Amino acid sequence: MPLHNELTVFPYQDPRISFFGKWQEEEGCVTSFGTVTFIKLRFEGRVIGVEGSSAAPVYAYLDGEQTLLDFEGKVYLHTSFGVHSLVIKVFADRAFSLRGFEAEALLEPVEIKRPYVKFIGDSITNAAPGFFTVTGELLGADYSNDSVGGMSLSDGMGWPEEKSPKVGMESYYFRTCRTQFDTVYENYAFRFDSVPDACVVFLGTNDYLDCPEDYQAGNVPHFAAHYAAFIEKLTKHYPTAKFYIFEPLSDKYCRKEGIEAAFAIMKEKLGDQVTLLPTDTWGIALSPDGTHPSAEGYADLGVKLAAYLAPKL
């Protein structure tokens, strides 16, 4: 077995390292942002070294076998000689900064790739385990998640009421924020994020579309215009991705009208690149709050979404 100091250093910029989800280059490293992000690579040899740091242990999968890694400097994983895969999965509360890897050799990614699905949304998408995990696993897909509880689509809206400033997903997604209320951030450069095959977007729950007063305030056309602009902006960064827009699981007053008005604008501008998911007809069981799915509802939503997406990926 080679000594650790005999391994070759591969910095995080090496093109054979694949990133999924939101990653931003910082001084001497690349750092994860978002609810679920991950890194994939293949190497040849008997040992892989990882140099980085994290707020808490992160999940590593060496040839599919899970282990928790505490990072502060370098960590080495040993195995038998051969070709191996390594996946590092990071969750929102465990922000991970990667400097690079050490190995005998890195290999090109496999030609037969899994579909990659990106989930964007609010607390319904943020729930873990939630529907996105079920969908991703049933599809055999790589998947990332960028969602925040209480997140609106439009700036200035969303929950909780007393927090300020309230940044909606229309701005939040393009910043390296940890929370909706961060005032210190960099603009997201999109350098390390792989282009997804599909973006599943569920927004509108927190955009003040819940009563006659919201309707009279003009919130429906406001929401529609901003939602359509947000998706169009995403297509500039993910030009080959298909976008799947959720219908609401519940409609207190004009949420469905707002989403369908937004989709009409999207469809006119983007054509077949966007699809409106018929999620309002799937009979998803809700929790007592009438908004979030129940535990059974989350699982059912994940299964039905996977069945819908499977023939399209």
Which residues are CB-contacts of 297 (< 8 A; sequence separation ≥ 6)?
249, 284, 285, 286, 287
What is the C-alpha to C-alpha distance for residues 309 and 302, in angstroms, rounded to an integer?
A: 11
- Of the candidates 46, 77, 107, which is a domain's last residue? 107
Report the number of distinct structural domains present in the chain: 2
- Of the candidates 107, 138, 172, which is a domain's last residue? 107
What is the C-alpha to C-alpha distance for residues 9 and 104, in angstroms, rounded to an integer?
A: 9
User: How many CA within 13 A on the CB side of residue 10?
Assistant: 19
What is the C-alpha to C-alpha distance for residues 120 and 251, in angstroms, rounded to an integer?
A: 20
257 and 275 in a single domain? The answer is yes
pLDDT reported for residue 179? 86
Q: Check which CATH number belongs to the domain holding 17 and give it.
A: 2.60.120.260
What DSSP element (H or E) covers 262? helix 255-270
Q: How far is CA 74 from the centre of its chain?
A: 27
Please identify which residue in the block is written with the tokens 């070709």. 83
73 and 220 in a single domain? The answer is no
Residue 166 φ/ψ, nearest 5 degrees = -100, 110
- 8-11 and 96-107 beta bridge pairing: antiparallel
226 and 199 in a single domain? The answer is yes
Say if residue 69 is exposed, middle or buried (CB neighbours under 10 Å; 0-12, 13-18, 19+).
middle
100 and 200 in a single domain? The answer is no
144 and 76 in a single domain? The answer is no
76 and 127 in a single domain? The answer is no
What is the C-alpha to C-alpha distance for residues 196 and 239, in angstroms, rounded to an integer?
A: 9
Nearest by Cα to 13 from 23, 4, 5, 22:
23
212 and 298 in a single domain? The answer is yes
208 and 289 in a single domain? The answer is yes
Whether 251 and 284 have beta carbons less than 8 Å apart is answered as no
Binned average pLDDT, 10 residues per bin, the chain of 313 residues: 77 96 95 94 95 90 92 88 95 88 91 87 92 96 95 93 90 92 92 95 97 97 98 98 97 96 98 98 96 97 98 96
Domain span including residue 12: 4-107
93 and 161 in a single domain? The answer is no
Whether 2 and 168 have beta carbons less than 8 Å apart is answered as no
204 and 96 in a single domain? The answer is no
pLDDT reported for residue 111? 66
pLDDT reported for residue 19? 95
91 and 195 in a single domain? The answer is no
What is the C-alpha to C-alpha distance for residues 73 and 50, in angstroms, rounded to an integer?
A: 8
Say whether the peptide bond before residue 160 is cis (omega within 30 degrees of 0): yes
- Give per-residue pLDDT as tens, 142-180: 999 999 999 999 999 998 888 888 999 999 999 998 888
197 and 157 in a single domain? The answer is yes
- Of the candidates 107, 127, 143, which is a domain's last residue? 107
pLDDT reported for residue 2? 63
- Give per-residue pLDDT as tens, 224-249: 999 999 999 999 999 999 999 999 99
CA torsion sign, 212 to 216 to 219 to 225?
A: positive
